[in-house]
């Protein structure tokens, strides 16, 4: 983290530090323990407070600071009646030391996380809707494999309620809440839906306002027949009808039809992220964004304490958070 610089040195010109004697070549590091003490003193603006923070004596802190000042050949602090203030040289050093400590902290956290991840082994049975698997989960699974190489992931797809599946799953994702004995549900991410179509179709028949949808074929799926009605009602055009209708038995076929220019789909934003990024789909009308039932993460309570299941649950949550960001 970056520590605040005392007001008296904030506006001073940074100073390039040099070693005090010729035998200290530029690539030689200063005493690392002394740097740790220096950072603590600079953060607290006090030798005494730094000593408490580091669980050492006031004398030990002063010794380390003198050692560092001797190494650089310049004072790093101005001693005052009420604490200390960084010199120009000290402020310049603090900037680099803080950045270095921040990078070290991040590196240590990654190594510890990776080490823990490589020690987790097991099997996770994941049950999700087919469209969610194809469009959202599978493109991200390589990241989980890289983090947890000893966890086997078994993916199955169905839109049935998980309470009817019994113990045949560890983690599931559904559209909307699902309650039941042995199920631990929580919201994963919102499902916002907006019209989407191929850029080529949009060039032929531009969509600049809701009424322009009248000249387009509207795409549906068996499980989302009412979606267009909800969106059009929120858009203030409940009676609007497209020039044609086309329905598919799966959402992923509906989205594929939109990519091929067969019409305009009302798309779930989490499912078309790759198509939008690649330019295969565009959203001509950004508003309104109709919010359907949230995507829900559901854990089989009987497996909630399993380390592999917990790792996948945490990873899935992180991926959803990154997607929303």
pLDDT digits (tens, 9 = 90+) for 147-203: 999 999 999 998 888 888 878 899 999 998 888 888 889 999 999 999 999 999 999
User: Would the pLDDT of 265 be above 80?
Assistant: yes
Q: How far apart are CA 134 and CA 157, in angstroms?
A: 10
- Residue 255: closest CA among 220, 289, 207: 220
Q: How far apart are CA 96 and CA 239, in angstroms?
A: 64
Q: For 282, which DSSP code? A: B
* Residue 115: predicted pLDDT: 59
Q: How far apart are CA 124 and CA 79, in angstroms?
A: 60
Alpha helices in 88-138 (DSSP H): 88-119, 130-132
Q: How far apart are CA 292 and CA 264, in angstroms?
A: 18
**Which pLDDT band holds residue 286 (cuts at 50, 70, 90)?**
confident
Domain residue ranges of the chain, discontinuous segments joined by +: 7-117, 123-325
Q: Which fold has domain 123-325?
A: D-Maltodextrin-Binding Protein; domain 2 (3.40.190)
* Percentage of the chain modeled with pLDDT above 70: 88
- Mean pLDDT for all residues in the chain: 86
Give the model confidence (pLDDT) of 83-133 as tens digits. Answer: 789 999 988 898 888 888 888 877 776 666 665 556 888 999 999 999 999
Q: How far apart are CA 85 and CA 77, in angstroms?
A: 5
Which helix (H) or strand (E) segment holds residue 257: the answer is helix 251-259
CATH pick for 7-117 out of 3.40.50.300, 3.30.70.270, 1.10.490.10, 1.10.10.10: 1.10.10.10
* Residue 322: predicted pLDDT: 87
């Amino acid at each position: 983290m970056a520590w605040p610089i005392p007001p008296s040195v904030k506006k001073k010109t940074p100073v390039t530090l040099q070693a005090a004697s010729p035998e200290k070549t530029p690539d030689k590091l200063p005493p690392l323990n002394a740097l740790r003490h220096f950072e603590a003193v600079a953060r607290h603006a006090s030798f005494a407070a730094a000593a408490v923070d580091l669980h050492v004596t006031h004398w030990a802190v002063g010794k380390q600071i003198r050692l560092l000042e001797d190494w650089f050949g310049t004072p790093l602090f101005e001693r005052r009646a009420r604490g200390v203030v960084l010199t120009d040289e000290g402020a310049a050093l603090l900037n680099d030391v803080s950045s270095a400590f921040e990078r070290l902290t991040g590196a240590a956290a990654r190594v510890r996380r990776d080490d823990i991840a490589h020690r987790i082994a097991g099997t996770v049975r994941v049950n999700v809707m087919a469209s969610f698997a194809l469009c959202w989960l599978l493109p991200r699974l390589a990241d989980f494999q890289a983090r947890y190489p000893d966890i086997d992931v078994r993916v199955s797809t169905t839109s049935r309620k998980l309470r009817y599946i019994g113990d045949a799953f560890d983690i599931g994702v559904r559209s909307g809440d699902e309650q039941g004995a042995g199920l631990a549900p929580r919201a994963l991410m919102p499902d916002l839906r907006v019209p989407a179509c191929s850029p080529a179709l949009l060039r032929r028949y531009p969509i600049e306002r809701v009424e322009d949808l009248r000249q387009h074929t509207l795409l549906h799926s068996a499980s989302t027949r009412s979606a267009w009605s909800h969106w059009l009602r929120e858009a203030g055009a409940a009676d609007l009808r497209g020039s044609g209708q086309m329905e598919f038995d799966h959402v992923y076929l509906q989205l594929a039809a939109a990519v091929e220019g067969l019409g305009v789909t009302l798309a779930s934003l989490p499912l078309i992220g790759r198509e939008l990024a690649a330019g295969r789909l565009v959203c001509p009308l950004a508003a309104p964004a109709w919010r359907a039932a949230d995507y829900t993460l559901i854990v089989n309570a009987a497996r909630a304490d399993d380390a592999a299941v917990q790792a996948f649950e945490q990873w899935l949550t992180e991926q959803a958070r990154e997607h929303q960001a």
